[in-house]
């Protein structure tokens, strides 16, 4: 019985020790996070608002068929495009454009000639197929009709 109690007490000790260690870890971690977010807190300088970078927690998250952190359509070749086409420029530049296979290839060639894009090897075909399939040109004619008009009552 006393052996059991001893053992029980030992476990309790270890448990308390671990609890203290864990608390210390949490407090230090918390302070570190706070310091990272507010580095000026400990430097006693005038506070200023500096805007911080926040990225989506899961860089691979897909919602409603859209890759959340880039806005690309979830389709075959998506991650190859994300990995190769969003390092130097934003995905927004890709998403604004619509081209056929030939012109997406020409754009890659231009980036290789002037923008230090390395050879893409067999990824080029995957990338161009993804882009030309999901972002093909749309014929707009010589002048489009006005669309998405946001109607409002004009006050004097």
Tell me which residues touch other proteins (CB under 8 A).
29, 33-34, 36-40, 43, 45-46, 48-55, 57, 88-90, 92-93, 96-99, 103, 107, 114-117, 137-144, 146, 149-154
Between 122 and 140, CB nearer to other proteins: 140
Tokens in use for 48? 């200023």
Task: Point out which residues pair with 63 in neighbouring strands.
Answer: 66
For 18, how many CA atoms within 13 A lie in the half-sphere containing its CB? 6
How many other C-beta atoms are found inside a 10 Å radius of the C-beta of residue 38?
13
Nearest distance, CB of residue 156 and other proteins, angstroms:
8
Q: Which is nearer to other proteins, 2 or 114 (CB)?
A: 114
First to last CA, the chain: 91
**For the chain, what is the largest distance between any 2 Cα atoms, rounded to a whole number of angstroms?**
94
Beta strands in 6-104 (DSSP E): 62-63, 66-67
Cβ neighbours for 140, distance < 8 A, ≥ 6 positions apart: none
Q: Report the nearest approach of other proteins to the CB of residue 48 (Å).
A: 7
Measured from the CB atom, the residue of 18 and 26 that comes closer to other proteins is: 26
Q: For residues 12 and 29, which CB has a smaller minimum distance to other proteins in the complex?
A: 29
**Which of residues 56 and 75 has its CB atom nearest to other proteins in the complex?**
56
Minimum CB distance to other proteins, residue 22 (Å): 14
* Shortest Å distance, C-beta 9 to other proteins: 33
Rounded-to-integer distance, Cα 111 and Cα 86, Å: 13
CB of 59: closest distance to other proteins in angstroms? 9
């Amino acid at each position: 019985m006393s052996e059991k109690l001893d053992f029980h007490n030992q476990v309790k000790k270890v448990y308390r020790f671990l609890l203290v260690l864990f608390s210390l870890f949490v407090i230090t971690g918390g302070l570190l996070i706070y310091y990272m977010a507010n580095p000026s807190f400990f430097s006693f300088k005038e506070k200023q608002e500096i805007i911080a970078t926040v990225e989506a927690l899961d860089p691979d998250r897909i919602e409603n068929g859209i890759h959340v952190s880039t806005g690309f359509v979830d389709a075959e070749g998506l991650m190859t495009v994300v990995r190769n086409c969003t390092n130097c420029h934003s995905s927004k530049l890709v998403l604004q454009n619509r081209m056929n296979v030939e012109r997406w290839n020409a754009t890659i060639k231009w980036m290789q000639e002037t923008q230090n894009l390395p050879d893409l090897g067999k990824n080029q075909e995957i990338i161009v197929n993804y882009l030309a399939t999901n972002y093909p040109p749309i014929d707009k004619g010589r002048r489009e009709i006005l669309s998405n008009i946001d109607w409002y009552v004009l006050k004097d």
